[in-house]
């Protein structure tokens, strides 16, 4: 019999009054995501400088993206399960944070292509250990506020992504190099590590046993959940858990949504130049509009998800995207495109935090397994940008972007009753 998904409890219920992570713990966790995206934003903006400094070919630039993603993703797969919970997970997080900081520093000091490739390949599993496990711990600390905390998490990452290019520009204006900018990111990573090390002792450890066991609706104690999460159930059992818990559907929705999030962003500047007849500077402005509007959407999401049901917000945003994204492609003028681009970015901002929170909610007591599932799905999701690129090569970029119009519809179909369950439950209660 399929396991029922974890219920979404109303505010003010007994569970909602359980102990929540303190402000210091929350800020330390958000600092980890901020510095992770800060590194990505800084290196993306610095790539022309890196290419010139290390005399990289275009093929080598492609390898710097592909090899760390694939090799690092494979190395990251077992981390979520092996880390377990409690003290063991804390040790994994702290060790991963040190490797994370060292790999960022090594990237900034890399004298040649090979050294940079090795540093970035190490960075990916270190990021999975430091960043993903910090995220899963935050999700475990307050199950009833997962959507809100995931929105805060996404907001911190968006701020980091926007800050990266600004950091590089500031360093360059002061006469520094891209290596100095990356070195400053490494310093920020070490500060984030110190924050996690300082807050982890008093925050999660104190709240790990008593509050969670008091608030549990079933007879499992937090220790039982920790032992359960620490053990790999086997590939067949893991596949059964993913299917019966509903996690498989949330993983599918996450990969579908990414086509209209990161994949679309990656092709945006090229699309605006090739199909929107914009200049390179105007295309850069379009990327800035995309990032800035996404940041605004995250800010709105923090407030909205504190008051409204997360699945209802998700479903409404998918319907809006189904209308707004085709309109963005069809309108002829660049000004109109930028306005609609901002609207699309705002309405799609809740997708990742809500879906990721639902993934954790479908696997209560198994957040480590959720991390490993996400890593595996991310490897499969790498087909998305390849498919869009191939379609653009064969049929043109305009048609490739038009194909993305099917993403919201596919999400509604794949989500099925999962995205309608809350409204039905509300109707049952009112009846």
Residues 335, 256, 124, CA angle at the centre, nearest 5°?
95
Q: How far apart are CA 282 and CA 134, in angstroms?
A: 37
Q: Which of 203, 231, 259 is the last residue of a domain?
A: 231
In a domain, 10, yes or no: no
Name the token pair of 205. Answer: 């450890």
Q: Do 293 and 368 sit in the same domain of this protein?
A: yes
Q: Are 71 and 126 in contact (CB under 8 A)?
A: no
Q: Do 198 and 273 sit in the same domain of this protein?
A: no
pLDDT (0 to 100) of residue 329: 95
In a domain, 293, yes or no: yes
Q: Do 376 and 394 sit in the same domain of this protein?
A: yes
pLDDT (0 to 100) of residue 95: 94
| DSSP alpha helix (H) spans, 275-382 | 280-304, 310-330, 334-348, 351-361, 367-381
pLDDT (0 to 100) of residue 141: 81
Q: Do 206 and 347 sit in the same domain of this protein?
A: no
In a domain, 164, yes or no: yes
Q: Which of 231, 250, 265 is the last residue of a domain?
A: 231
Q: Are 79 and 132 in contact (CB under 8 A)?
A: yes
In a domain, 374, yes or no: yes
Q: Cβ contacts of residue 48 below 8 Å, gap of 6+? A: none
Specify the number of domains making up the chain. 2
pLDDT (0 to 100) of residue 227: 42
Q: Do 258 and 318 sit in the same domain of this protein?
A: yes
Supply the CATH number for residue 143's domain: 1.20.1250.20
In a domain, 424, yes or no: no
Q: Widest CA span of the chain, in angstroms?
A: 69
What sign does the dihedral 371-142-197-185 (CA atoms) show? positive
In a domain, 298, yes or no: yes
State the CB neighbour count (10 A cutoff) for residue 398: 14
Which of 216, 224, 249 has the alpha carbon at shortest distance from 86? 224
Q: How far apart are CA 299 and CA 162, in angstroms?
A: 14
Name the token pair of 117. Answer: 């490739």
Q: Do 316 and 395 sit in the same domain of this protein?
A: yes
Q: How far apart are CA 22 and CA 261, in angstroms?
A: 31
CA atoms within 13 A on the CB side of 89: 31
pLDDT (0 to 100) of residue 330: 95
Q: Which of 231, 257, 291 is the last residue of a domain?
A: 231
Q: Do 214 and 70 sit in the same domain of this protein?
A: yes
pTM exceeds 0.75: no
Q: Do 195 and 266 sit in the same domain of this protein?
A: no
Q: State which residues form the domain around 296.
A: 241-419
pLDDT (0 to 100) of residue 207: 43
What sign does the dihedral 380-384-389-391 (CA atoms) show? positive
Q: Do 143 and 257 sit in the same domain of this protein?
A: no
Rg of the chain (C-alpha set) = 22
pLDDT (0 to 100) of residue 14: 38
Q: Do 307 and 169 sit in the same domain of this protein?
A: no
Residues 263, 413, 300, CA angle at the centre, nearest 5°?
55
Residues of the chain where predicted confidence (pLDDT) is lower than 70: 1-21, 58, 200-238, 382, 416-431
In a domain, 34, yes or no: yes
pLDDT (0 to 100) of residue 201: 58
In a domain, 277, yes or no: yes
Q: Do 73 and 221 sit in the same domain of this protein?
A: yes
Q: Do 218 and 282 sit in the same domain of this protein?
A: no
């Amino acid at each position: 019999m399929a396991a029922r998904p974890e219920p979404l409890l109303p505010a003010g219920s007994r569970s909602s009054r359980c102990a929540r992570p303190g402000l210091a713990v929350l800020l330390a966790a958000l600092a980890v995501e901020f510095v992770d995206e800060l590194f990505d934003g800084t290196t993306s903006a610095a790539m022309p400088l890196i290419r010139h400094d290390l005399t990289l070919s275009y093929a080598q630039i492609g390898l710097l993206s592909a090899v760390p993603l694939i090799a690092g993703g494979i190395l990251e797969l077992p981390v979520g399960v092996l880390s377990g919970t409690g003290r063991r997970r804390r040790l994994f997080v702290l060790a991963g944070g040190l490797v994370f900081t060292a790999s960022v520093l090594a990237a900034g000091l890399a004298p040649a292509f090979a050294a940079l490739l090795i540093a970035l390949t190490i960075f990916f599993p270190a990021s999975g250990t430091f960043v993903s496990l910090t995220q899963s711990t935050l999700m475990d600390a307050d199950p009833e506020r997962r959507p809100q905390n995931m929105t805060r998490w996404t907001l911190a990452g968006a701020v980091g992504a926007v800050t990266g290019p600004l950091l590089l520009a500031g360093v360059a204006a002061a006469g520094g190099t891209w290596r100095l900018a990356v070195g400053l990111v490494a310093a920020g990573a070490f500060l984030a590590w110190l924050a996690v090390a300082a807050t982890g002792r008093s925050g999660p450890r104190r709240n790990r046993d008593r509050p969670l066991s008091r608030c549990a609706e079933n007879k499992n104690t937090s220790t039982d959940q920790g032992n359960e999460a620490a053990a790999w159930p086997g590939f067949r059992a893991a596949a059964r858990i993913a299917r019966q818990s509903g996690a498989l559907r949330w993983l599918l929705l996450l990969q579908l949504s990414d086509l209209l999030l990161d994949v679309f962003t990656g092709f945006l500047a090229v699309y605006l130049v090739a199909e929107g007849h914009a200049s390179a500077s105007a295309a850069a402005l379009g990327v800035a509009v995309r990032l800035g509007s996404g940041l605004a959407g995250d800010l709105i999401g923090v407030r909205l998800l504190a008051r409204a049901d997360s699945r209802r917000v998700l479903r409404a945003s998918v319907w809006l995207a189904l209308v707004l994204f085709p309109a963005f492609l069809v309108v002829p003028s660049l000004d109109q495109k930028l306005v609609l681009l901002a609207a699309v970015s705002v309405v799609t901002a809740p997708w990742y935090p809500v879906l990721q929170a639902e993934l954790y909610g479908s696997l209560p007591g198994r957040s480590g397994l959720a991390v490993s599932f996400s890593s595996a799905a991310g490897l499969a999701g790498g087909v998305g940008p390849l498919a869009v690129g191939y379609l653009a090569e064969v049929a043109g970029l305009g048609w490739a972007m038009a194909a993305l119009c099917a993403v919201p519809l596919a999400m509604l179909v794949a989500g099925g009753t999962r995205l309608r369950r809350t409204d039905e439950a509300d109707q049952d209660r009112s009846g």
